Structure 1
Amino acid sequence: MASAPAPAQKVIVVYGATGTQGTAITLSLLESKENFAIRALTRNPESEKAQSLARLGANVVRADGHNDDQMRAALEGAWGFWLNTHHHDAAVMEPNGPSDEDLGRRLVTIAAEAGIKVFIYSTCGSPAEITNGKAPVPGMDAKHRVEVFARQFPTFDAVIGAWPAWYFENFIDAEYAAAFGGFPMQADEDGYLTFTSPRVGGEGTVQTVSVADDFGEMVHALFLDPSRWHGRTVPLMSDAFSYEDMVGAFSQVTGKNARYIPMESYEDFPTHGDSVLVELQDVYRYMQNANGWFFGEPDNVETSQRLKDKARLDKGLEPQHLISMQEYFAKHYGGQ
């Protein structure tokens, strides 16, 4: 008796595959036991990051989101598409050029025309909607509009918004550390690793995710069961904590003196005219008007944990709990 034919291979296109989110998602999907083929898009296929993904089995393809012909070719014959555009990229910051929202809408349209069935977008809820217009965050609101725009295309079987919490990765980034007082890299004149920021408001905890440890697996799981998540914006997080608890945990892990100094107002957060810092100031205002919740709603680690569990089962790996703040610091600073 002849054996049943193997299921058709499903090609998943990962946009920006060498970026923080794209790398994590690509690495996780490459371990899937499903019949996925991963097409990793990058503007520079010769980079070490791109070549590393190629060695692991990804089909690395040159594609610039601003080049429609390259994107059409990159999406041809694909089943799934992961899209994450960077709204602080210089290419979408030109005064008379296309905005990040323009880019997102154009790529959504190209994906629909290419016959993509499962579209998953790195997005946000709308702070303007969550706060009834009190505290909009232009970049976040624009991303939400792109997600809503994508839902109008009947050719997609599933449109899913993946909303990452604040990155744990920020705490291993020197530029981010400098913007918040130096913690956890540079001591101040009193010898403390100081984190200074406005308070988040409300419950005073920060909803945070490790992209490398958890987020990639969560998105992997969304591709495994897309119909369940169709039409939803899914908040994805690893842990939530107060800034006081954060610096205390760091001190416990490293033995170094660390402290949190709150600012009186979100307006006290220095922006230096930098678009990223201007947005962070807006985000603090938003959170103070949303009970301190970045997601506009209470913590939901259960959903994130179930998604992580599903991806690890698909990869044949043992279950693993979402990484905590203290574990993250131990992993990156515990040996210092």
Structure 2
Amino acid sequence: MPLFTAVPSTMTTALQLNARYKYQAAQADNTNAPKMTPTKTIAVYGATGAQGGAVARSLLQSTDGFHVRALTRNRSSPKAQQLAHLGAEVIQADGFNQDEMRNALTGAWGFWLNTDHHDPAFPTADGIDDTIYGQTLISLAAELGVKVLIYSTCESSTEHSLGKAIVKGMDQKNKVFRYGASQPGFDAVIGAIPGWYMENFLSPEYAGCFGGFPLQSDAEGYLTFSSPRLGGPGEVPWIDIEDDFGDIIHGLFLDPTSYHGQTVQCFSDTITFEKLTETFAEVTGKKARFVPQAAPSDFPTYGVGALEEIRDIYAFTQHMGGNFFGHPNAIETSKELKKASLKAKGQPDSKLITIREYFGKHFA
């Protein structure tokens, strides 16, 4: 029996969120709702964020008749204006405002959704957390006739580890995905699980939490990557969000029913921490090394929720023999989806980005 069979127990709180919106469907003014078009409209939630932006930009290049509706809280931001310049319909849509969300989802065929449980907005004063928030948006999409939902999710750490290595954020994401899959009316509901961001190597804040690599040298002159091991063979699945993730999601929108009810691993390359630092040294000529920490508890969190979750992920992967996705890394689906999206964009076939190529592009 699935772990999260009691989904309806959350509906009372979800309905409270709807009440908070103060939306009365019978009195709604839909004069500004977007009109139906002959193409398939895809609403991209968080279109100015990392994942949503990559999805929107890839879909905007498609020749398969997709119309991109970019949802953002700030239509005047530079990123929103860039999407408008590329041809997106930019829509003002705050997820806590049901009038705006109803307008944004009306007439949409597809819906890309990513919610952030580390957002300081959660929990709200009236108890709305990321799980309820995601479920409420999915309920609205189902009500408005959206046919394809792709949600950025995770596997259930509780299920895979039999309760021995729990990552709260992973379980929350998985619960939202399962809720979506339980809703009638969708033709396809897909969970997309991104690997570890290559883009984090460009962040000074990220580097500071992992020994300084690849931006800050230590006292011995090394760029040192310091963290616990992943467990098992230690093959970390890395994803280039900008170059690959959007294309992978694009590929799912091209053939959604084939992946209905499934979670899909989305990553570009697999490489251990040891090999990663060796590759960086080869590409850049700089001294780099991996210094393992003895246990997940040695990973510094500084009381920050996102870092505490990374610590818990290390405990989960070590318990799972290195399987970040809960299953062994399987890159073939990402390759196939990338190939399909490039074909839809009329671009030459190209492989997923490797760590070596990423380091060469940004650090060589």
Match of 2:98 in 1: 68
1:161-214 per-position Cα deviation (integer Å, ceiling 9, x unaligned): 011111111111111111111100011111111110011111111111111111
Q: Is the 8 A contact 1:119 1:156 kept in 2?
A: yes
Please tell me the residue identity of whatever aligns with 1:291.
G
In 2, the alpha carbon distance for the partners of 1:64 and 1:178 equals 33
How far off its partner does 1:93 sit? 4.3
Deviation at 1:303, TM superposition (A): 1.0
Tell me if 1:53 matches 2:87: no
Structure 2 residue 187 is the aligned partner of structure 1 residue 157: yes
Report whether the alignment pairs 1:176 with 2:206. yes
Q: Report the counterpart of residue 168 of structure 2 in structure 1.
A: 138
1:224 is aligned to 254
User: Residue 325 of structure 1 aligns with which residue?
Assistant: 355
What is the alpha-carbon distance in structure 2 between the residues aligned to residue 245 and residue 83 of structure 1? 34
2:280 matches 1:239: no
Measure how far apart 1:94 and its partner are: 4.8
SS in 1 for 2:252: helix
Partners of 1:108 and 1:64 in 2: CA distance: 14
**C-alpha separation in 1, matches of 2:258 and 2:111:** 17
* Counterpart among 298, 303, 321 of residue 268 in structure 1: 298
The whole-number CA distance in structure 1 between the counterparts of 2:254 and 2:266 is 16
TM-score (ref. length: structure 2):
0.88
Asked whether the 8 Å contact 2:70–2:89 carries over to 1, the reply is yes
Out of 149, 165, 177, the residue aligned to residue 119 of structure 1 is 149
Alignment of 1:1-336 (within 5 A): 8-94=38-124, 97-334=127-364
In the other structure, the counterpart of 2:17 is none
1:4 is matched with which residue? none
Give a deviation string over 1:5-47, Cα, whole Å, max 9, x none: xx92111000000100011110100011111110000111111
Query: Post-superposition, which runs of at least 4 consecutive aligned residues in structure 1 deviate over 3 A?
Result: 93-97
User: How far off is 1:95 after superposition?
Assistant: 7.0
Give me the whole-angstrom Cα distance separating, in 2, the residues matched to 1:131 and 1:320: 36
C-alpha distance in structure 1 between counterparts of 2:185 and 2:230, whole Å: 40
Distance 2:126 2:109 in 1: 34
- Percent identity, please: 52
Amino acid aligned to 2:238 = T
Cross-structure match for 2:4: none
Please list every run of 5 or more consecutive structure 2 residues that lacks an aligned counterpart in the other structure.
1-36
TM-score using structure 1 length: 0.96
| Cα distance in 2, alignment partners of residues 245 and 210 from structure 1 | 18
Distance 1:247 1:240, change over 3 A: same
The one-letter amino acid paired with 1:269 is F
What is the DSSP-based 3-state SS (H/G/I as helix, E as strand, rest coil) of the residue aligned with 1:90? Answer: coil
CA distance, structure 2, for counterparts of residue 94 and residue 200 of structure 1: 34
Take 2:201 and 2:293, find their aligned partners in 1: how far apart are those partners?
Answer: 19
AA aligned opposite 1:63 = A
Q: How far is 1:96 from its partner?
A: 5.3
CA contact (8 A) 1:207 1:293 kept: no
Cα distance change on mapping 1:50 and 1:186 into 2, 3 Å:
same
Distance 1:96 1:195 in 2: 41
Moved more, 90-99 or 158-167: 90-99
1:258-301: CA deviation from partner (whole Å, max 9, x where unpaired): 11110010001111100100000000000001111111222211
Q: What's the offset of the Cα at 1:74?
A: 0.6
> Aligned equivalents of 1:159 and 1:94: distance in 2?
27
For the 8 Å contact 1:13–1:40, the answer to whether it is kept is yes
Runs of 5+ unmatched residues, structure 1: 1-6
What is the distance in 2 between the residues matched to 1:50 and 1:95? 29
Total equivalences in the alignment = 328
- Separation of aligned partners in 2, 1:95 and 1:297: 37
Alignment partners' CA distance in 2, 1:72 and 1:279: 33
Cα offset for 1:97? 3.5
After TM superposition, give the deviation of residue 153 of structure 1 in Å.
1.3
